[in-house]
């Protein structure tokens, strides 16, 4: 089984965590993008989509702090169960609200943010505890493969269901499927051994490190904020613009499937061949190419320029993201003291990401005020498309980025 690299370095807890991550990916691939489209169909207003995502990121940031205390002083596995269960309830709420969802868009965004906050905080802490420097890139590569694989069939199935059945009935069906997948993930989470914890929750101390230029965490936080700026906007806008350009959910599903195929190949290559001493160059190449693929939008926002952007992102995002993620968690595990404060470091990392996300969505909301032409959004997407270069400039200041094992 060397096709995927040294997978024998991954133990049972790592594979269980990969299964949970895969189920999460299936559910979100089925419905997450289509929630934004669903809200757009109910009310064709970019501001509605912006407020939904802003509420999501704001609630997520607050939840990270609360979930961090739970993970630090009670149990990490309980936190991931809460996160998965709340996201299942989110889809149940959308099902029950139906057309009224657009009237409660801010509350729905907050509900999803709370569930996501619990899930991602506990997932990242468990990821840190279960993996080590010698298998972290392998785990990230396989996780990317699973996520991309989930994204190959799920979106086109969703698009087919929505277009072949009465549209809003189709939406209710895929939201019900997401609910079911999340419930399976809850069951799988009970196979993880409980990881009780104790100790003082020292989050303020870690947050202060973000202001100290002499500390590695200062540069990690800057990198995460820059990455969050890109992620906050691109996570929902490109797919929504594809739908606006085509007016068809099946076309959107096909686009998402095609980009997942490209991402799967890219994750396989990165996970199989990445080396620790190549991380700096890999992050730079990935970051630069993620900006270059945005440039066709200068000539207009249409189906073809958006497809070029989407395929380019799918190809180069793993080149940038896999080594960046591994480098950040290596900083957390730099020594015994930082490892003991892993929960606080993960919370601080997620807070920095959400600062970036909130900044970009706030800029989006300001931009769309009074703008009815989607093509004008390209002048916002273009600078955001290059912002990850600042993440590279920041993370390369961390000396252990290229340290060999």
pLDDT of residue 263: 85
pLDDT of residue 300: 83
Walk along the chain (405 residues) and give the pLDDT tens digit of each residue.
454 555 656 677 888 888 888 898 888 888 888 899 999 988 888 999 999 999 999 999 999 998 888 878 777 788 888 988 898 889 889 888 888 888 899 999 999 999 999 988 888 888 877 877 777 777 877 787 788 788 888 888 888 888 888 767 888 899 899 889 888 988 888 887 766 666 788 888 888 888 888 888 899 999 999 999 999 999 899 889 889 888 888 888 888 888 888 988 888 888 777 777 778 888 999 999 999 999 998 888 888 888 899 899 999 999 999 889 888 888 887 777 777 888 888 889 989 999 999 999 999 999 988 776 777 888 899 999 999 999 999 988 886 555 544
Structural domains of the chain, with CATH: 10-191+202-401 (1.20.1250.20)
pLDDT of residue 169: 84
The backbone torsions φ and ψ at residue 294, rounded to the nearest 5 degrees and listed phi first, read -80, -25
């Amino acid at each position: 089984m060397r096709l995927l690299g040294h997978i024998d370095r991954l133990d049972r807890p790592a594979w269980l965590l990969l299964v949970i991550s895969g189920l999460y990916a299936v559910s979100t691939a089925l419905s997450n993008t289509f929630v934004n489209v669903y809200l757009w169909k109910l009310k064709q207003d970019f501001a509605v989509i912006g407020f939904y995502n802003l509420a999501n990121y704001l609630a997520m940031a607050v939840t990270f702090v609360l979930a961090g205390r739970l993970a630090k002083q009670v149990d990490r596995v309980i936190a991931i169960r809460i996160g998965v269960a709340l996201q299942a309830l989110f889809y149940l709420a959308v099902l029950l609200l139906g057309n009224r969802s657009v009237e409660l868009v801010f509350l729905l965004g907050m509900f999803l943010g709370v569930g996501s906050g619990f899930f991602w905080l506990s997932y990242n802490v468990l990821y840190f505890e279960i993996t080590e420097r010698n298998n972290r890139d392998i785990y990230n590569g396989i996780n990317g493969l699973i996520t991309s694989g989930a994204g190959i069939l799920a979106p086109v199935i969703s698009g087919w269901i929505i277009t072949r059945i009465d549209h809003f009935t189709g939406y209710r069906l895929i939201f019900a499927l997401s609910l079911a997948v999340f419930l399976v993930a809850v069951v799988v989470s009970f196979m993880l051994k409980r990881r009780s914890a104790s100790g003082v929750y020292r989050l303020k101390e870690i947050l202060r490190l973000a202001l100290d230029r002499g500390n590695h965490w200062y540069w990690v936080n800057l990198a995460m904020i820059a990455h969050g700026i890109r992620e906050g906007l691109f996570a929902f806008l490109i797919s929504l613009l594809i739908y606006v350009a085509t007016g068809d959910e099946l076309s959107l599903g096909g686009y998402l499937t095609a980009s997942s195929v490209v991402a799967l190949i890219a994750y396989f290559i990165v996970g199989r061949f990445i080396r620790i001493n190549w991380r700096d160059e890999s992050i730079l190449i990935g970051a630069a190419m993620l900006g270059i693929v945005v440039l066709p939008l200068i000539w207009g926002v249409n189906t073809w320029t958006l497809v070029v952007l989407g395929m380019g992102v799918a190809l180069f995002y793993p080149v940038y993201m896999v080594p960046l993620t591994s480098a950040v968690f290596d900083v957390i595990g730099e020594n015994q003291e930082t490892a003991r404060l892993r929960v606080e470091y993960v919370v601080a990392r997620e807070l920095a990401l959400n600062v970036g996300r909130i900044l970009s969505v706030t800029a989006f909301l300001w931009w769309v005020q009074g703008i009815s032409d989607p093509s004008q959004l390209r002048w916002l997407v273009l600078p955001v498309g290059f912002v990850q270069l600042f993440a590279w400039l920041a993370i390369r200041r961390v000396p252990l980025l290229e340290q060999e094992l």
